[in-house]
Amino acid sequence: MKLAFFPGCSARSSGMEYAKSTLELLEKLGIEVSRHDFNCCGTHIVEEYSRDIWLALNARNLALAEESKADIVTTCPACYQNLKKVNIELQDEEVRKRVNGILASINREYNGGVSVFHVIEVLSKVADKLPQVEGKKVAAYYGCQILRPPELGVDNPENPTIFEDLLEKVGFNVVDFRVKAECCGGTLLLTNSEGFKKRALSIVREAKKAGAECIATLCPLCQFSLEVVQDKMPVKPFTSLILEHANKEIEVLK
């Protein structure tokens, strides 16, 4: 298995711990991971401004991975969605031809040979190789973007289990967390700070009510949101939790 790690913008700031622990975990598993001069995925902002620019930005990233004969893995649900959505659109030959016309100005071309994964998908496939951990009570928090829309999400948006399944397989005691797929309110931070705080705190309170000792996250924005509004409940990227609580060496994939 060869993967190109797409860090996204958050990996250089609020999501630094998540990116670092993900790379460490993949390395310990013996998965070959390459790094590239990737550009920003553009998020929905660029998509709304210019679809061709948005398509070309993501096509360049896909082309870089394709050149190294690797699939893309990322920790950020927004990056995952943008890359995956563009990758689907570029399966259309006419769209790909138009976008490759833009990429030609920088001597790049994408031929459609890359798959895009979120790290939860990759690690779920090799969960039996991960170490057993202490039975800490954990709330598995998906957030909203990793599951929606259904055609792009990693699991059933109404009743996802991929995250709980992985955490339970390595030995965590996963609590029944009824708001696991609700929005953390992160996008309200700069426009409605009170609304943001109320939304994020409601997630933390539900985790406490469920008996969790910690909240495990899949999204760097969710992690930031749930941390910044309080300091009582630990909030950790799930890759960090696995590394911190592992009670034996991680088994290298054969």
User: In this structure, are 40 and 100 located in the same domain?
Assistant: yes
73, 98, 121: which is the final residue of a domain? 121
Question: Residue 92: which of 119, 110, 116, 74 has the closest Cα?
Answer: 110
**Per-residue pLDDT, 135:** 81
Name the E strands within 65-172: 71-74, 116-118, 137-141
Residue 235 has pLDDT above 70, yes or no: yes
Minimum mean pLDDT among 82-96, 125-139, 164-178, 192-206: which range? 125-139
The arrangement of strands across the sheet holding 173-174 comes to 173-174, 137-141, 214-217, 235-237
Q: Are residues 12 and 114 in the same domain?
A: yes
Q: Does 143 share its domain with 106? A: no
Tokens of 190: 């700069």
pLDDT, tens digit, 9 for 90 and up, residues 8-66: 999 988 999 999 999 999 999 999 999 999 999 998 889 999 999 999 999 999 999 99
CB 119, CB 29: distance < 8 Å: no
CATH no. for residue 176? 3.40.50.11810
**Would 148 be classed as within a structural domain?**
yes
- Is 251 among the domain residues? no
pLDDT of residue 151: 93
pLDDT band at 126 (very low <50, low <70, confident <90, very high): very high
CA distance 223 to 216: 8
Residue with tokens 């705190």: 201
Q: Are residues 88 and 143 in the same domain?
A: no
Shortest CA distance to 183 belongs to which of 164, 199, 161, 197? 199
Domain boundaries, position 194: 131-245
For residues 160-188, average pLDDT:
96
Does 249 score more than 90 pLDDT? Answer: no
Percent of the chain with pLDDT over 70: 98
For residues 174 and 204, state if they share a domain.
yes
Q: Could you give the number of structural domains in the chain?
A: 2
**Same-domain status, 188 and 109:** no
pLDDT, residue 120, reads 98
Same domain, 24 and 57: yes
- Could you tell me what percent of the chain has a pLDDT over 90? 89
Residues 110 and 173 in one domain: no
The phi, psi pair for 215, rounded to 5°, reads -105, 125
pLDDT of residue 132: 87
What pLDDT sits at residue 174? 98
Sign of CA dihedral 111, 112, 116, 122: negative
Banded model confidence at residue 250, pLDDT cuts 50, 70, 90? confident
Query: Do 183 and 109 share a domain, yes or no?
Result: no
The rounded distance, in Å, linking the Cα atoms of 140 and 22 is 17
Q: Do residues 219 and 76 lie in contact, with contact meaning Cβ atoms separated by under 8 Å?
A: yes
Q: Are strands 32-34 and 2-6 parallel, antiparallel or unpaired?
A: parallel
Does pLDDT of 91 surpass 70?
Answer: yes
Q: Is it the case that residue 131 has pLDDT exceeding 90?
A: no
Q: How confident is the model at residue 248 (pLDDT cuts 50, 70, 90)?
A: low
Asked if 127 and 166 touch (Cβ cutoff 8 Å), the reply is yes
